[in-house]
Amino acid sequence: MARYTGPKVRLSRRVGAPIADIPKHTAKRQLNPPGMHGYRGRRLRDYGLRLNEKQKLRFHYSILEKQFRRYVDEAKRRQGNSADNLLQLLESRLDNVLARAGVVRTIWAARQMVVHGHVRVNGKKVDRPSYSIKVGDVITFRDKIHTLIRDNMESIVGHIVPDWIEFTPAELTVRVAALPTADQVPFEVNTNLIIEFYR
């Protein structure tokens, strides 16, 4: 399976926005354009603006172009606003739900936890990070990983769990109470430009 294995901070620098909510990405010095001196005086045109917004979202959720295009097509097929549908589809991915719940620091750590078979959805093992979580689904973890999860939670004290997720720290269970809305996504991106990019 093809995937990006290079430095993640380079992606943040490329799009000019932190793609992960950790100090390595949010530090101001890291958001300079890539290269020794960066590129100065370069203005993006319409195509470049739309491409940059699309890349922000792709890098944030750590998915490749082909899969991202499928999400866009599915968002257009569904009823309602295509931009909001796209965010809902991406937010309801299993790896993203784990990251939002605060059991891991980054989405890449969540992907690793899922692929290694430590996650159960409604009692069944799921090893696909792209698995789509539905309202009412309950996520649990193998006993072997509980210590690691508690260590992760201590390292990200102050993490705010969104309203659409119900997390029980004592039992280490995550329940999806509702589908997320566009204003509940803690990442600034103009999804309308992304939908326009694929027209």
* Domain containing residue 98: CATH number: 3.10.290.10
In a domain, 3, yes or no: no
Q: Which of the pair, 27 or 197, is modelled with greater confidence? A: 197
Q: What is the pLDDT of residue 131?
A: 94
In a domain, 164, yes or no: yes
Task: Say if residue 28 is in the same domain as residue 63.
Answer: yes
In a domain, 1, yes or no: no
Whether the CB-CB separation of 92 and 180 falls below 8 Å is answered with yes
Backbone angles phi and psi of 124, in degrees to 5:
-110, 140
pLDDT digits (tens, 9 = 90+) for 107-133: 999 999 999 999 999 999 999 999 999
* 78 token code pair: 């569904």
Q: What is the pLDDT of residue 140?
A: 94
Whether the CB-CB separation of 139 and 119 falls below 8 Å is answered with yes
CB atoms within 10 A of CB 123: 7
Over the chain, what is the mean pLDDT?
86
Residue 66 has pLDDT above 90, yes or no: yes
Task: Say if residue 83 is in the same domain as residue 137.
Answer: no
Q: Which of the pair, 71 or 152, is modelled with greater confidence? A: 71
Residue 15 has pLDDT above 90, yes or no: no
Residue 46's domain is classified under what CATH number?
A: 1.10.1050.10
Q: What percent of the chain has pLDDT over 70?
A: 90
CB atoms within 10 A of CB 105: 17
Q: Lowest-pLDDT range, 31-35, 59-63, 168-172? A: 31-35
Task: Say if residue 172 is in the same domain as residue 101.
Answer: yes
pLDDT band at residue 86 under the 50/70/90 scheme: very high
At CB < 8 A and 24+ separation, what contacts does 177-184 make?
Answer: 177/135, 178/135, 179/88, 179/92, 179/135, 180/87, 180/88, 180/91, 180/92, 181/84, 181/88, 182/83, 182/84, 182/87, 184/91
In a domain, 45, yes or no: yes
Task: Say if residue 33 is in the same domain as residue 80.
Answer: yes
Residue 137 has pLDDT above 70, yes or no: yes
In a domain, 2, yes or no: no
Task: Say if residue 79 is in the same domain as residue 102.
Answer: no
**Residues 173, 159: Cα–Cα separation, whole Å:** 16
Q: Which of the pair, 32 or 106, is modelled with greater confidence? A: 106
Q: Which domain holds residue 85?
A: 8-90+188-197
In a domain, 85, yes or no: yes
Q: What is the pLDDT of residue 114?
A: 94
Number of domains in the chain: 2
In a domain, 106, yes or no: yes
Q: What is the pLDDT of residue 36?
A: 66
Whether the CB-CB separation of 50 and 193 falls below 8 Å is answered with yes
Task: Say if residue 12 is in the same domain as residue 71.
Answer: yes
Residues 66-87 have a mean pLDDT of 92
Model confidence, pTM? 0.86
pLDDT digits (tens, 9 = 90+) for 148-189: 999 988 888 778 888 899 999 889 999 999 988 887 887 788
